[in-house]
Amino acid sequence: MLNIFQKAAGHFKENLPFVLYAKPNSTQVIGIFQQNINLYESTDLSEKGFVFADFKGSQAIIFPYNESEILNQKYEVSDNLFHTEELKISEDGKEAFENLVQKGIKAIEEQVLEKVVLSRQETLKQKNFSFLEVYQNMLSTYPNAFRYCWFHPEVGMWFGATPEQLLKVENSKFETVALAGTQKYDANSEAVWQQKEKQEQQFVTDFILGKLAAEAQSLRQTQPFTFQAGNVVHLKTTINGIFKSDFDLKKVLKVLHPTPAVCGLPKEVAKDFILKNEGYERKFYAGFLGELNGNLLKNENKDSNLFVNLRCMEIQQSKIHLYIGCGITKESNPEKEYFETANKAMTMKRILD
């Protein structure tokens, strides 16, 4: 019997859609292997399958469970592949991104926006790329992230190791997180958060609580705490509760996505600013992905487990596109924000070497 990685190699060779993924802190890899070449798109997020949705909300691709072979297996954790040496930070596009950030700060000062999340694309040349080797590196290097490798011949290949849960639903119980504020991880000292990061994180928390209040019969939240994601740390608040018996998953996702952690506030104004000013297409970066209406390992039909598509990259012919962003408030420093994105880019760069 083929193991899950051999199965993925064969599927890729035959140009058939598949996804490999592992949930945070799990050593179980799940594979969804679609048995045809069709591009299925969700119409109302009621389907059962693995969903891969874009940032704009215009496309949500589904690998339907009933059109796929599903495998899962344990993987062996390799020696930690996390690089201890400093990788060189690229300054390509630094001036353009700093100008973009300055434009965002100006919009906030003029009270057009409260916060906006701005991003950029960094492109690397592909050298002897092995998707299975890269994915196995990712599994061992970022155990507390949602790690995936997704492929469809009409769309391409994407990888990610995202630290951010969008929404986890088990029957009517749910959990989500407010994740914002970033600094470089230092093993020798505890993170100290400035007012800018605290404010940025509070924006996200307040937005989520406000949007979920109408759909939930109970809501709880933790105090913000420091959470490590690869070579950076964030401020994180966990929010959980119970939905009302008639809750609508599509409605909940519509009000949550995109959250202020990847878009800004007010949401529609920030989204419009991003689409008009970033100068490139985010595609599936800052969208969401995961199990829709079915927990495969527990065989629970009402469960969904969805993540925001951060710390991700797109493989395109001879190039690798990294997608990275940061939250902008009126206290932001354009150069500091650029280096925040550069540090986030290291999440993917560290598994490529």
Find tokens 């902008």 and name the residue.
Answer: 328
Domains of the chain (ranges plus CATH)? 4-78+93-352 (3.60.120.10)
Contact 271, 278 (CB under 8 A): no
Tell me how far apart the alpha carbons of residues 75 and 27 are, in angstroms, rounded to a whole number.
6
pLDDT of amino acid 183: 81
269 Cβ partners below 8 Å, 6+ apart? 112, 113
Q: pLDDT tier at 84 (50, 70, 90 boundaries)? A: very low
3 state SS for 98-160: HHHHHHHHHHHHCCCCCEEEEEEEEEEECCCCCHHHHHHHHHHHCCCCEEEEEEECCCEEEEE
Q: Give per-residue pLDDT as tens, 199-243.
A: 888 888 998 899 899 889 999 999 999 988 777 788 889 999 999
How many C-beta neighbours within 10 Å does residue 103 have? Answer: 15
pLDDT of amino acid 108: 96
Higher-confidence residue of 268 and 80: namely 268
pLDDT of amino acid 80: 52
Tell me how far apart the alpha carbons of residues 213 and 220 are, in angstroms, rounded to a whole number.
11
- Looking at residues 269-290, what average pLDDT do you find? 97
Higher-confidence residue of 40 and 249: namely 40
Strand-pairing partners, residue 304, are 169
Q: Give per-residue pLDDT as tens, 295-306.
A: 555 555 668 999
pTM: 0.90
Could you please report the per-residue DSSP string of 175-206? EEEEEEEEEE--TTS-----HHHHHHHHHHHH
Higher-confidence residue of 269 and 198: namely 269
In the predicted structure, residue 79 carries a pLDDT above the cut 80: no
